[in-house]
Amino acid sequence: MSEQEDIIVTDNGEETIHHKHMKVALDLGTRHAEFEGIDMILAQEEYYAKVLESSRSFWKDVTLYVTIEPCVMCASALRQLGIGHVYFGAGNDRFGGNGSVFNIHTDAELPHSPYPSEGGYYRGEAIIILRKFYVGENMHAPEPKKKKHRVLKEDLP
């Protein structure tokens, strides 16, 4: 999604949640899917009340399913919450915090308890979804890369 499309959206005065999220995601490097999910849960009265009562006992019954391995930031966030279980699709050898680059989920030194995390589910599908996203261009980057000639590769490592 380009800057120009942002402008069109706000021009109509109708910023849908989806668009807004895309925009925020591009302005801010930290709005990862895990945080979107956590905030969507906390936005619901019923769950928020439970969290206020006892955050730990609420999150220990929550399982996260995510297409790509949580990054180091999200891995730590999930540990601080006390997530019950994490299942992910493809590993992330550039940012991954659940085994690829760091082992935040099992680190014996960090505060809070470790949590179980398993990856590899629908790995191929997960990689293709991410590639489809990166075939698009990020106009917010300092020097946006021209990706006109980029095509979606379908072979898997």
Which residues sit at the interface with another protein, rule CB under 8 A? Answer: 3, 7, 10-11, 23-24, 27-30, 35, 38-39, 42, 48, 51-52, 55, 71-77, 80-81, 93-95, 97, 101-102, 104, 107, 109-112, 140-143
| Nearer to another protein among residue 11 and residue 14 (C-beta) | 11
Structure tokens at 8: 């069109």
| Nearer to another protein among residue 28 and residue 156 (C-beta) | 28
Q: Please choose, from the candidates 129, 133, 134, the residue with its C-alpha nearest in 3D space to the C-alpha of residue 156.
A: 129
Structure tokens at 61: 């019954």
Least separation in angstroms between CB 46 and another protein: 14
Q: Please choose, from the candidates 66, 56, 65, 63, the residue with its C-alpha nearest in 3D space to the C-alpha of residue 95.
A: 66
| Nearer to another protein among residue 102 and residue 121 (C-beta) | 102
Structure tokens at 24: 């925020």
Least separation in angstroms between CB 5 and another protein: 12
Structure tokens at 116: 């179980």
**Can you tell me the distance from the alpha carbon of 97 to that of 113, in angstroms, rounded to the nearest whole number?**
15
Choice among 3, 15, 34, 118 that is catalytic: 34
53 a catalytic residue = no
Q: How many residues does the chain have?
A: 157
Annotated catalytic residues are 34
